[in-house]
Structure 1
Amino acid sequence: MKYGIGHLSVVPCRAEASDKSEQVTQLLLGETIKIYEQKRTWFRIKTAHDSYECWIDENQFSFISQSDFEALNQSKPTVVSDLVSVLSKPDTSEMMTVLLGSNLPCWENKTLNIANKKWQYDGLFQSTKSVLNKSKIAENAYLMINSPYQWGGRSPFGIDCSGFVQLVYKLNGIFLPRDASQQALMGQALSFIEEAEEGDLAFFDNAEGQITHVGIILSNNRIIHASGKVRIDKLDHQGIFNVEKRDYTHRLRLISKIF
């Protein structure tokens, strides 16, 4: 088996080995992968943080050794907490955008190392080893307000509902699965919405009973979620009520307390 690391700001991960294939998720800077198969210029990979299988282009990651892969995944990472910032390469004019939730491998004295290449980062960061705090979940979620919805997205420039929840929880040291239906299996299910606290998750189903949407519960009967964009709506026992449309847009199925 081979191993790799994302060396670009955000990398599209495809369902098949083609640029025309559906984007199913994204790989952020510094996130690591296991590599299983090559097909032309594409590699079938599994992400280390959520075990998601997909295809990525050979130019959008770097190979690393098994020992480096294991070292990077031994402990929770330090991550970018700026919405958008910049990396610079010491003693050169080279720069690169870095996004919220990206990993900062081998972080020391404002310097990170990705596949033996050093970069400097002067922006905000936080350790994902910190003590869990539900108010911090809401604080991080607010950063993403008005980010556009994008199927398979995990960044401020485009994000889907489960990618939004996964990214916010990652910032707080909790690594959830990628899809809403998988996330619904985590934590403790609550019997009544009145038992929920800020930072808990609400899940919603379609007409066939399949869980297709998720959001983060806020105080005062509100929810923040990605639907068209990251937005705040009202939440009650029926589901999400969109004030602009004057109608319910999502039917509540489950409330879950992750911690």
Structure 2
Amino acid sequence: MKTFKYIILSLFCCATGLASPAQALFPDSVVYQRIEQLAKETERRYAPDKRTAIFELHVADSNARLFRIVTTEPKAGEYFNQLLAGSTISSTNVTINLLPDSSIGGNIAGIVNLSVANLRVEPSNQAELASQALLGTQVDLLQEQNGYYRIRTPEGYISWVSTSSVTPKSTPELIQWREAKKVIFIADFGHAYTMPDEQSLRVSDLVMGNILLAGQQANGFVQVRYPDGRDAYIKQDLIRPFDEWLGTVNPTAEAVLKTAKTMMGVPYLWGGTSVKGVDCSGFTKTAYYMNGIVIPRDASQQVLAGQFVDILSADTLDTQKALQNLQPADLLFFASGKNRDPNARVTHVALYLGNGEFIHSAGTVRINSMLRDAPNYEDFETRTLVAARRYIRQSDPALQPVAQHPAYTLPTEKLHE
């Protein structure tokens, strides 16, 4: 499973530009300690999961002892101001920067323009890979800093991406993108070419799930346009009209598992969500997305969605109960380590195939069994199965059909409002 390693308090020393602990800047500051306390209280209430909501305390000026709150949650800012007003601290000591902010220049959305864009936990090429987003995906732009955008993905994941990976769109440009005919790449891998000829120069690689603007057909190719304006040609049999795909995609167990099996052997990649490499939850996310459902990003989030499936007795896996209650395409959730407490934190997820077998990304995408006498049982004994959830035919705000998701199909008239 993929998890974020966030810095809760980003503190910068104005004199050197280097990060420095708050205690070093304000070793005896009652003001700082009180502001930090109020910030933590607000964060616990309005931004408990930093993957989907931001509430950060920064030092704006260490000499003047001025502070800045950065948040995505308007109610959090209001609540913090109420707490501040009830304290002895002057409100002039703290400013609140609500995201999206002015650094994005009024372009509150952007479209990913690489086959696979890497999203990171901090605005740095050296930072940990948090997740990925595919070509043609619309993301919310929240902030720009050091050549990176802080963005929010369709599943609500907040992270940083290089500005070269995303094309910002004004409202008119976003309307034009929304209304234009598009295609979705349905093959595992492929390429786009400068001419309708596989011997011509390549424009880029492509992976399953990429979305581009559609143009004219020519000699078995379709002319396409990237979000950043590049033109190219793709073989017609590797794509489908996006609207047609939306109208026919059917998230059945059979369809989800069929997609999952096409990824057999794909290498494990921490933060990966494409056929170039997937982590465990990126694998389940991709299998469901290609069948028309946007699901939460991480295993610890996925375990909170869908319908509970009973597989335990006395907090321990009951194999007989599991075989009876589980259905294909149910999600299985694990904690690391043999004989771990079943209430331990979820660290891994798999898709149930049936007959005790499951498919998951562990080293590579592969199939294992929970049955002790099965030849592919060996990986199972290194983990503790702690929960199962059913997504198929479930109504849950966390499980969003692509056809109804605002990042893909929001009526353009709403953009005029």
- Structure ID, larger Rg: 2
Per-residue CA distance 1:98-146 (angstroms, 9 max, x = gap): 0122224457753443324333322434524423321111111011111
| Mapping for residues 55-66 of structure 1, pairs under 5 Å | 55-66=160-171
| Alpha-carbon distance in structure 2 between the residues aligned to 1:35 and 1:246 | 40
Q: CA offset at residue 40 of structure 1? A: 2.0
Structure 1 residues 242 and 183: CA distance shift in structure 2, 3 A? farther
Q: CA offset at residue 43 of structure 1? A: 1.3
> What is the root-mean-square deviation of aligned Cα atoms in Å?
2.7
Structure 1 residues 246 and 228: CA distance shift in structure 2, 3 A? closer
Structure 1 residues 246 and 188: CA distance shift in structure 2, 3 A? closer
Q: CA offset at residue 61 of structure 1? A: 1.7
The answer (yes or no) to whether the contact 1:79–1:128 under 8 Å persists in 2 is: no
| Alpha-carbon distance in structure 2 between the residues aligned to 1:106 and 1:4 | 19
2:192 to 77, 87, 101: 87
Structure 1 window deviating more from structure 2 (148-157 vs 171-180): it is 148-157
1:120 maps to what in 2? 233
Structure 1 residues 68 and 175: CA distance shift in structure 2, 3 A? farther
2:355 maps to what in 1? 220
| Alpha-carbon distance in structure 2 between the residues aligned to 1:100 and 1:223 | 22
Tell me which protein shows more helix as a share of its residues.
2
1:31 maps to what in 2? 137
The answer (yes or no) to whether the contact 2:368–2:380 under 8 Å persists in 1 is: no
2:319 maps to what in 1? none
AA at the equivalent of 1:209: A
Q: CA offset at residue 221 of structure 1? A: 1.6
Q: Secondary structure at the match of 1:199?
A: coil
Asked whether 1:201 is paired with 2:320, we answer no
AA at the equivalent of 2:230: K
| Alpha-carbon distance in structure 2 between the residues aligned to 1:87 and 1:173 | 24
1:187 to 297, 306, 320: 306
1:255 to 381, 388, 392: 388
| Mapping for residues 60-75 of structure 1, pairs under 5 Å | 60-69=165-174
| Alpha-carbon distance in structure 2 between the residues aligned to 1:50 and 1:226 | 20
Greater length-normalized contact order (CA 8 Å, ≥ 6 residues apart): 1
Tell me which protein shows more strand as a share of its residues.
1
Instruction: Provide the TM-score with structure 1 as the length reference.
Output: 0.87
AA at the equivalent of 2:231: K
- Identical columns (%): 26
AA at the equivalent of 2:125: D
Q: Secondary structure at the match of 1:8?
A: coil
| Alpha-carbon distance in structure 1 between the residues aligned to 2:280 and 2:178 | 26
Structure 1 window deviating more from structure 2 (183-192 vs 111-120): it is 111-120
- Identify unmatched segments of 5+ residues in structure 1: none
AA at the equivalent of 2:201: S
Q: Secondary structure at the match of 2:264?
A: coil
Structure 1 residues 211 and 57: CA distance shift in structure 2, 3 A? same
| Alpha-carbon distance in structure 1 between the residues aligned to 2:195 and 2:166 | 21
Report the number of matched residues. 254
1:51 maps to what in 2? 156
| Alpha-carbon distance in structure 1 between the residues aligned to 2:334 and 2:216 | 42
Structure 1 residues 60 and 197: CA distance shift in structure 2, 3 A? same
2:269 maps to what in 1? 150
- Identify unmatched segments of 5+ residues in structure 2: 1-105, 312-321, 393-417
| Alpha-carbon distance in structure 2 between the residues aligned to 1:35 and 1:11 | 14
| Alpha-carbon distance in structure 1 between the residues aligned to 2:178 and 2:334 | 32
| Alpha-carbon distance in structure 2 between the residues aligned to 1:88 and 1:30 | 17
| Alpha-carbon distance in structure 1 between the residues aligned to 2:203 and 2:216 | 19
| Alpha-carbon distance in structure 1 between the residues aligned to 2:261 and 2:253 | 13
Structure 1 residues 104 and 250: CA distance shift in structure 2, 3 A? farther
